[in-house]
Amino acid sequence: MIHHGDTEARSKLLHEELTEKIIGAAIEVHRALGPGLHGLAFQRQVSLPIEYKGVKLDCGYRLDLIVQDEVILELKCAEHLLPVHDAQLLTYLKLTHKRVGLIINFNVAMLVKGGIVRKVL
C-alpha cells in the first residue's frame, strides 16, 4: 500500500509522474528484471551537512538517493517499516527543502503491498 502525505485531497500529486517512474523502476529491480533507474538522473549516498548559526556540522546524514534533484529515496531491507523511518525521511525533506520522498522496503513479497511509503511536505 502506498501511503500519501497530508496532500491526499489534491487532485494531482506533487511530482506524481516522477514518483510513478521511480516506483516502476524499483518494482522491476525487485523482480530482478533489470538494473538502474531507467534513464532518470540520480545521485547516491549524498552527504547532508547541517548548518547552524553559520557553522556547517557534519552529522553523518547520507541520503540513499536523490532522483532528478527532486525526490529523495530511502532504501530499506527491514522486516517492518517503523515510525523512525518516516521521521528520518521527513527530516531529510526538511533539511534539503525537497517536497517529496519515498521509502522503499525491499524486504517484502510485493513492493506494491506494503513496501512503498510516499511522503510530501
* pLDDT 10s digits, 60-88: 789 999 999 999 999 999 999 999 999 99
What is the domain range of residue 31? 16-120
9 within some domain: no
Q: Is residue 23 part of a domain?
A: yes
Strands 62-67 and 71-76: antiparallel
Q: Is 44 helix (H, G, I), strand (E, B) or coil?
A: strand
User: CA–CA separation, 99 vs 107, rounded Å?
Assistant: 26
Structural domain total, the chain: 1
Residue at grid coordinates 517503523: 82
Q: Is 1 a member of any domain? A: no
The pLDDT value given to residue 33: 46
> Of the candidates 7, 19, 31, which has an alpha carbon nearest to the alpha carbon of residue 108?
31
In a domain, residue 8? The reply is no
Specify if 106 maps to a domain.
Answer: yes
The answer to whether position 84 is within a domain reads yes
Residue bearing cell 540520480: 42
- Residue 7, domain member (yes or no): no
pLDDT digits (tens, 9 = 90+) for 17-71: 888 888 888 888 767 544 455 677 889 999 888 888 888 887 778 999 999 999 9
Kindly tell me if the per-residue pLDDT of 9 is higher than 50: no
Q: Is residue 87 part of a domain?
A: yes
* H helical segments located in 31-100: 83-96
Q: Is 0.75 topped by the overall pTM?
A: no
